[in-house]
Every structure is written in C-alpha cells, then in structure tokens.
A and B are shown apart, each in its own frame.
Chain A
Amino acid sequence: DAGITQSPRHKVTETGTPVTLRCHQTENHRYMYWYRQDPGHGLRLIHYSYGVKDTDKGEVSDGYSVSRSKTEDFLLTLESATSSQTSVYFCAIRAGGTGELFFGEGSRLTVL
C-alpha cells in the first residue's frame, strides 16, 4: 500500500463545467504524477510534480492544470470539461530513488 487516496472515485459531470480531482499521499514522497487511461492507449502522463509548487507537463496536458501547495496533495483541474476528457485518472507517486511508480485506485470521470 503506497498510501495514496484519490477523490472522488467516480464523478459524472456536464460539458463545460470545472472539475477537480484530488490525490492525497501520506508518506511525503517528492514526486507525484497524474495519468489518464483510455482503451487502446494504455496510461498517458498528463502532468507531474517534483515538489511543492514545482510541476511540469506530460504528453497529454492540454485542457488540464495542476497544483501542489502541500507535499501531500496534488490536484488535477479540468477548467472546462469536454467529452474527450471522459477517462479513468490515476495518481502515482515515485518511491525513493528508483524509477518505480505506485498508483492509486483511480478516479472515473464521465463528461456528458
């Protein structure tokens, strides 16, 4: 158990509304990541953070923003949700100095 909690676990929203997903970790890991998972695409990196207020873009960052004001929380925001953002979103942390990532249980977002 990597001590990662994602919320909400499920959300249905309408096109154009803002959505924020939260990732909370309990073990003070420096690196945190947001991925999305879609059929046929595997997991793709949206944004990642390498410290408080230090974030960078991944390969599919358009339409998403992130914030990290505390070590334990990494927020993913969709300013104006679109149907193409219907997906399962996973938060991950990197434990220690290895390249190994550990994932949360996911947040399923449906944009109608």
Chain B
Amino acid sequence: GQQLNQSPQSMFIQEGEDVSMNCTSSSIFNTWLWYKQDPGEGPVLLIALYKAGELTSNGRLTAQFGITRKDSFLNISASIPSDVGIYFCAGSINTGTASKLTFGTGTRLQVTL
C-alpha cells in the first residue's frame, strides 16, 4: 500500500520556539490533512489542504500542500505547552467518493518551559 514518511519522529523544543514537520509520499494525493492527537483521545483535524501549492493557516499553525502533490509541511509558530501531542499527516487520493486516508506514523512533539 501507499507509504507516508513523516519526519521528524519526535522533537523536544522550548516554549516559544517555532516547529516544522513534514510528510512525503511515494505517490500523489489530492488532499492533505493534518491531525493532532492527545493521549487517550482520537485525532483532531487541524488543517485541510486541497490544491497543490496551497498555503493555509489556522491560528499559529500553517500548512502547505507541496507542488509535486507528494508532500506537505506543517509549521507551528511560538509553541506553547498545550501543543504537546502527536501530529499526523494524512493523504487521500479520492474526495468524490469514500475518502480513504493514508496516515503517516506521526511526529511526537514535546515542549519544555
């Protein structure tokens, strides 16, 4: 099946720092989604991207849909303690019918004061 490589796998940062993570695929997608998961809970949708080259923001979060349609990036500016969690990218090839998402393996973010 399709593979999504997400990096880094984990990162420790200090509060106030900016964070970058990315996701690459061996095949193209026409939708990229970014989720955050807290312990014991389900993934929560952060940002959705639908066009190659699209740059979308949600508060301190900014995500981009790569031009090649094989990658996506998520940036978090001025991190705060509640940003701690696991961030997943997900790609989908069909939006007109059942959206079968392929997920990356996640980036674990830990924020120190």
Contacts and interface: CB of A to CB of B under 8 A. Distances in A.
A43 B100 contact: no
B59 interface: no
Given A99-B95, A100-B48, A58 B42 contact: no
A74 interface: no
A108 B90 CA distance: 22
Interface residues of A, number: 26
B45 A100 contact: yes
Contacts of B94: 99
B103 interface: yes
Given A98-B48, A100-B33, A50 B103 contact: no
A44 B103 contact: yes
Contacts of A100: 33, 45, 48, 99
Interface string A45-72: 1001010000010110000000000000
Interface in B22-43: 30-31, 33, 35, 40-43
Contact of A94 (B42, B44, B99, B104): B99
Interface in B43-58: 43-45, 48, 50
Nearest to B44: A103
A41 B30 CA distance: 22
B42 A104 contact: yes
B42 A90 contact: yes
Given A42-B103, A43-B103, A45-B101, A98 B41 contact: no
Contacts of A40: 105
A99 B33 contact: yes
Contact of A45 (B44, B100, B105): B100
B41 A105 contact: yes
B42 A42 contact: no
